[in-house]
Amino acid sequence: MSPPLLEVSNASKIYAMGGLLSRRRFAAVADVSFTLEEDRHEIFTIIGESGSGKTTLARMILNIVPATEGTIRFRGVDLATIRKRADRLAFMRQVQPIFQNPFEAFNPLKRVDRYLYMTALHFTDARTADEVRAKADRALRQVGLSLAEVKGRFPHELSGGQLQRVAVARSLISSPALIIADEPVSMVDASIRMSIVNLFKALRDTLKVSIIYITHDLATAYYISDRIIIMKKGEVVESGNAREVLAHPTHPYSILLKNSVLSPDPSRRDELLAPQFSSTEKDIAALR
Amino acid sequence: MTAGAPTTVGAAGQGVAEAPQPQPVLRVSDLSAFYQTHYFGIVREVRAVDDISLHVLPNEIYGLAGESSCGKTTLIKTIAGAIQPPLNVVGGSVKFDFRGQSINVYESTPEERNAMRWQHLSYIMQGSMSVLNPVRRVRHSFVDFAFRHIGRSMPDFLDTVVGHLERLHLRADVLDAYPHELSGGMRQRVTIALATVCRPEFIIADEPTTALDVVVQKGVLAMIRGIQREIGSSLLFVTHDLSVHANLADRLGIMYAGHIVEEGPTAELFASPRHPYTVHLIGSLPRVGDAAPKKGLEGVPPNLADPPPGCRFHPRCPLAMGICSRETPVMEWAGPGRRVACFAAEKGITA
């Protein structure tokens, strides 16, 4: 039996804070375990408010930040054992990131297509300029753009939605098995947000990529996820089938999170009553 | 939406429109404000606010929605009279009427405008960290902003501030804290306290909850509404998030590329949007419990330095007709309290 695509077992990331005498330990990620299977292509969502450790977990899976405890295995390889450049490149070829803010992910002084070419040179067998361009164009077509639209452009010449599509295209060049998308739509305009979200769905279905989708937005999570974990203060408080968990959360924090989502329905606006705030704050204090 | 809901809330919405019209607090007429540069003989013009008219009634929350770079922030800056070149007002007027004391922002002296600010007109900004001075305690921000407008002795003033903070469930000791010591939600509540401590008649709020966590956001919104109802001021609330507007705004204006394209009571606008852009925005809102496929809108928002001719939405519009690329639709009355700028909606076609 082949090893799972990604196996996170009891992974923790503990930061030590303070000076020599007053050292405090702070667990950004505490004892998280989950497994993504090789042949079940799914959108796996990590939900949590800011400071819940979801980005740290993403960075651990990308092998940017080492886990202090526990192991993360990708196709059976422990990430902590990846030392050589060749191994690292082989890992990066299979696991690709998409970041939150496309305007920060791309250097404003460099042309956008350069990122596509560099990725193609590093992670594929393309060697000639024509091959590299063909790879970039194929990836861009998968996200509904073409090289002609992007060629020679600087980030400021593209809209946020287009730029985020280029970021997705870049991650597709190496034909990865896993894409880690950290809040990919929170900086994208409302009218374009759903087309990016739909794009992730299409990638899962047509290209057979597994996607780890990190977000704080329960509504889009409900819309695209297959499985979900909810994180609070570094710990997983609830996990399972996305629709079931979000429809009937059981952990008090998940319930609080769900109740905090504003319904886009003016007839239910009276739920927004002032006294609710103090109780919400008390709830948070109690949970912490 | 349930069948019964629109009628009940709709009736309330009509009440706003048909009640013996009180004098609006804010009346913006045909306002245009462009960013104009002419360096080396090259003239550039970005039409960020183009021929906008709106009014805000006393004790009303007016929501302004639109995506980034559609001119929302430029509009409210122009309304607040806080503009600097290259942003210039090209035409139109902004008039406030604070309980009999009226002021025309662009015909008044800087002294008159300064006296108006904070006492009658205040502003809740998006980044609470950049409002509060990071190297001074919160107390100093209150003294800097509000002391001279309240006109009492310092101990009296601080008593007022402490009493006001209590309304926002903040303890008096936040005054002695530095901004970085407070959580994001507390900091945003401090800026709300700062903007409301003088009990102004008009409050402008620019994306006040966008940077907050979901769990905190709902409470802060409830608090903004509570304090607005209590001091009876009008609120111009700007955010791109329609779920926030659904829960807060009495009337809603939708902006696209420098124009207001649709306006109406919130409940009616959600129940029966007329402009194709509004139809899309409301139809594509994801909800927990609803997994039906939703579409994104194709195309990109127009560049305001070179907007498309005619209706600025027509290159992305599913209902575009020949006339749309030639003529600019004007805002026309479409039912009680509602206005829409669309040729298709005029003919009764909806997306």
User: pLDDT tens-digit profile of B72-113?
Assistant: 888 988 998 888 888 889 888 999 988 778 888 888 888 888
Residue-wise burial string across A110-133, b where 16 or more C-beta atoms lie within 10 A, e elsewhere: ebbbebbbebbbebbebeeeeebb
Q: Which of B188, B196, B213, B223 should be substituted to probe chain A, the one whose Cβ sees the most A Cβ atoms within 10 Å?
A: B213
Q: Is the pLDDT of residue A33 over 90?
A: yes
What per-residue confidence (pLDDT) applies to A137?
A: 92
The residue of chain B with its CA nearest to that of A255 is B215
Q: How far apart are CA A181 and CA A210, in angstroms?
A: 11
Evaluate if residue B61 carries a pLDDT over 70. yes
Instruction: For residue A162, list chain B residues with Cβ-Cβ distance below 8 A.
Output: 300
In this structure, the number of other CB atoms found within 10 A of the CB of residue A283 comes to 16
Top-confidence residue, B298 or B102: B102
Residues comprising chain B, all counted = 351
If one compares B317 and B214, the residue with the highest pLDDT of the two is B317
- Assess A261–B contact: CB distance below 8 Å, yes or no: yes
Per-residue pLDDT at A63: 92
From chain A, the residues in CB contact with B68 under 8 A are 160, 189
pLDDT of A75 reads: 92
Could you tell me which residue, B311 or B4, shows the higher pLDDT?
B311
Report the top-level CATH class of A6-259: alpha beta
Cα nearest neighbour of B277 on chain A: A191
Can you tell me the ipTM of this complex?
A: 0.76
pLDDT of res. B351: 55
Q: Which amino acid is at A122?
A: H
Identify which of B6, B184, B222 has the shortest CB distance to residue A272. Answer: B222
Output the pLDDT for position A282: 43
Distance from CA of A75 to the nearest CA of B (A): 32
Checking if the pLDDT of B294 tops 60, the result is: yes
Which one of B1, B221, B296 has the shortest CB-CB distance to A265?
B1
Q: Taking CB atoms and an 8 Å limit, are B215 and A265 in contact across chains?
A: no
pLDDT reading at A19 higher than 80: no
Q: How far is B278 from chain A (nearest CA, A)?
A: 10
pLDDT for B8: 39
Residue of chain B with shortest Cα separation from A249: B288
Task: Among B1, B9, B214, B306, pick the best mutation site for testing chain A contact (most A Cβ within 10 A).
Answer: B214
Q: What is the mean pLDDT of residues A206-220?
A: 90
Tell me the three-class secondary structure of chain B, residue by residue: CCCHHHHHHHHHHHHHHHCCCCCCCEEEEEEEEEEEEEECCEEEEEEEEEEEEEEECCCCEEEEECCCCCCHHHHHHHHHCCCCCCEEEEEEEEEEEECCEEEEHHHCCHHHHHHHECCCEEEECCCHHHHCCCCCCHHHHHHHHHHHHHCCCHHHHHHHHHHHHHHCCCCHHHHHCCHHHCCHHHHHHHHHHHHHCCCCCEEEEECCCCCCCHHHHHHHHHHHHHHHHHHCCEEEEECCCHHHHHHHCCEEEEEECCEEEEEEEHHHHHHCCCCHHHHHHHHCCCECCECCCCCCCCCCCCCCCCCCCCCCCHHHCCCCCHHHHCCCCCCEECCCCCEECCHHHHCCCCC
Query: Of the spans A271-280, B9-18, B149-158, which averages the highest pLDDT?
Result: B149-158
- The residue-averaged pLDDT of B29-35 equals 91
Q: Does B3 touch chain A if contact means CB atoms closer than 8 Å?
A: no
CB B321 within 8 A of CB B305: no
CB contact under 8 A, A262 and B298: no
pLDDT, residue A272, reads 63
Name all contacts of A14-21 with Cβ < 8 Å and 24+ positions apart. A14/A68, A14/A69
**Cβ-defined contact of B214 to A161 (cutoff 8 Å):** no
% of chain A with per-residue pLDDT over 90: 48
Q: Do A257 and B267 touch (CB under 8 A)?
A: no
How much of chain A exceeds pLDDT 70, in percent?
92
Q: Using a CB-CB distance cutoff of 8 angstroms, which residues of chain A are in contact with residue B209?
A: none
Q: Is the pLDDT of residue A239 over 80?
A: yes
State whether A196 and B225 contact (CB < 8 Å): no
Q: Around B303, how many Cα atoms within 13 Å sit in the side-chain half-sphere?
A: 8
Tell me the chain A residues in contact with residue B284 when contact means C-beta distances shorter than 8 Å: 190-191, 193-194
What average pLDDT does the structure give for chain A? 86
Partner A contacted by B213 (CB < 8 A): yes
Residues of chain B neighbouring A273 (CB-CB closer than 8 A): 222
- Which of A179, A163, A161, A167 minimizes the C-alpha distance to A139? A167
- Computed over every residue of chain B, the mean pLDDT equals 84
Query: Predicted confidence band at A1 (pLDDT cuts at 50, 70, 90)?
Result: low
* Least CB–CB distance from B217: residue in A219, A260, A273: A260
Buried b (16+ CB within 10 A) or exposed e, B65-95: bbbebbbbbbbbbbbbbebeeebebeebebb
Arithmetic mean of pLDDT, B137-154: 89
pLDDT at position A130: 93
d(CA A220, CA B286): 6
The pLDDT score that the predictor gives to residue A270 is 65
Least CB–CB distance from A269: residue in B169, B247, B295 = B247
Q: B42 Cβ partners below 8 Å, 6+ apart?
A: none
pLDDT value for B215: 78
Residues A272, A274, B25, CA angle at the centre, nearest 5°?
85
Question: Does A46 score more than 90 pLDDT?
Answer: yes
Token representation of residue B62: 């007016």
Architecture of the domain spanning B21-249: 3-Layer(aba) Sandwich (3.40)
Residue B321 has pLDDT above 60, yes or no: yes
Q: Does A189 touch chain B (CB under 8 A)?
A: yes
Rounded to whole angstroms, the Cα distance separating A165 from A48 reads: 24
Q: List, in order, residues 6 or more apart from A127 with CB less than 8 Å away.
A: A121
CB contact under 8 A, B270 and A264: yes
Query: Could you give the C-alpha distances from A273 to A268, B219, B223, in angstroms and in order?
Result: 11, 9, 8
Is B218 part of the contact surface with chain A (CB cutoff 8 Å)?
A: yes
- Res B181: pLDDT: 84
Single out the residue of B3, B78, B17 nearest to residue B263, CA to CA.
Answer: B17
Cβ of B220 within 8 Å of Cβ of A277? The answer is: yes
- Contact between B284 and A189 using a beta-carbon 8 Å cutoff: no
Domain residue limits, chain B: 21-249, 273-285+301-351
Lowest mean pLDDT among B182-191, B290-299, B301-310: B290-299
CB pair distance less than 8 Å for B289 and A222:
yes
Mean pLDDT of all residues in B214-219: 82
- The Cα angle at residue A152 between residues A150 and A155, in degrees rounded to 5: 70
Q: To the nearest whole percent, how much of chain B has pLDDT over 90?
A: 22
Enclosing H/E stretch for A45: strand A43-47
Q: Is A256 at the interface with chain B, CB within 8 A? A: yes
CB contact under 8 A, B221 and A262: yes
Q: Which residues of chain B does A160 touch, with a Cβ-Cβ cutoff of 8 Å?
A: 68
What is the rounded distance in angstroms from the CA atom of residue A219 to the CA atom of residue B287? 5
Tens of pLDDT along A81-139?
998 999 999 999 999 999 888 888 899 999 999 999 999 998 988 889 999 999 999 99
Whether B5 has a pLDDT exceeding 50, the answer reads no
Residue with the two structure tokens 């909850």? B209
- For the cut 60, the answer to whether the pLDDT of residue A274 exceeds it is no
